[in-house]
Structure 1
């Protein structure tokens, strides 16, 4: 579905506008997370049906609705990561960070670098298994996350942001 110019990527994984894309390893991380979430959900549904007696509810209708919801959720768990991967973009310049993300609704987050208060690199257990990390950027107005980056890329972005912020502060003195 990458027919428009905004989704065309060169051999370095960069769009014409300078946006970078994610490494394909992020798909494995997202799918593993979705498998775990689906297993917990299925176990919860099983336990509810097994141990909770609700005589005032039509159990056949409830079962049909539950199965339909689980099928829709399973489809989302399979298709969602592919769409997220295809649409996720980030770009860092000397004055701002842009993050494009979303599955149904594409959000464009712009963070002025001079507003950055704190930068943190975090690695959850699943992302860590795949060598991935997130860069959490805190500003006075809130927080933004550049997700599913390889460790060295996340550290490089963190260091570069720190250097830019330090230079901005030195220029103000």
Structure 2
């Protein structure tokens, strides 16, 4: 079954990297607040804080470069007539699985970073929560959503026919 899983397009790495970069910039801005406050108070921090700040920046840069590659290599999804599976993670790998018959809503979303890279998310909603397939090219997301909608419609129609037959018996 491992070969049946689908990988993402390489554009996903750029999207992940930009998301990580924005988060890292926000994090570094918060880390800079004490330095800015001390500067305006005309005081000085111990020299070890400069060293610590350089280490934090270095780790952040490595994070933005390496984390998206690891996430990309671990991310995969699988859809057949019976189930939807998404495997992803950086530190902890999660495997989300939902039977197709339990899916009752399909949505496609595109955030601002997704739109820059021409990517989308397909969100399959079940009673137990959502399964999200991220970083899909727009046309693939549309195909997946359409195919899932058809599969769900077929399942609902079959269940309704069985219910009607049981009622007649």
TM over 0.5: yes
Whether the 8 Å CA contact 2:38–2:45 is kept in 1: the answer is no
Q: Which stretch shifts more, 153-162 or 37-46? A: 37-46
What are the superposed Cα offsets for residues 113-135 of structure 1, whole Å, 9 maximum, x if unpaired?
A: 11112111000111101110011
RMSD across aligned C-alpha pairs, in angstroms? Answer: 2.2
The Cα of 1:45 is off from its aligned counterpart by 2.4
Indicate which of 120, 128, 138 corresponds to 1:151: 138
DSSP 3-state at the match of 1:114: helix
Matched, 1:25 2:11: yes
The alignment's TM-score, normalised by the length of structure 2, stands at: 0.82
Structure 1 residues 42 and 170: CA distance shift in structure 2, 3 A: same
Residue-pair matches, total: 156
CA change 1:143–1:52 in 2 (3 A) is farther
1:124 aligns with 2:135: no
Gapped regions of structure 2 (runs ≥ 5): 161-169
Gaps of 5+ in 1: 1-14
Greater C-alpha radius of gyration: 2
Q: Which stretches of structure 1, 4 residues or more, deviate above 6 A after TM superposition?
A: none
What's the CA shift for 1:62? 5.0
Query: Alpha-carbon deviation of 1:52?
Result: 5.8
Which of 153, 157, 162 does residue 166 from structure 1 map onto?
153
Instruction: Give me the TM-score of the superposition, normalised by structure 1.
Output: 0.80
1:37-48 alignment, distance < 5 Å: 37-48=23-34
Any residues of structure 2 matched to 1:54-133 within 5 Å, and which? 59-60=45-46, 62-133=49-120
Q: CA deviation at 1:93?
A: 0.3
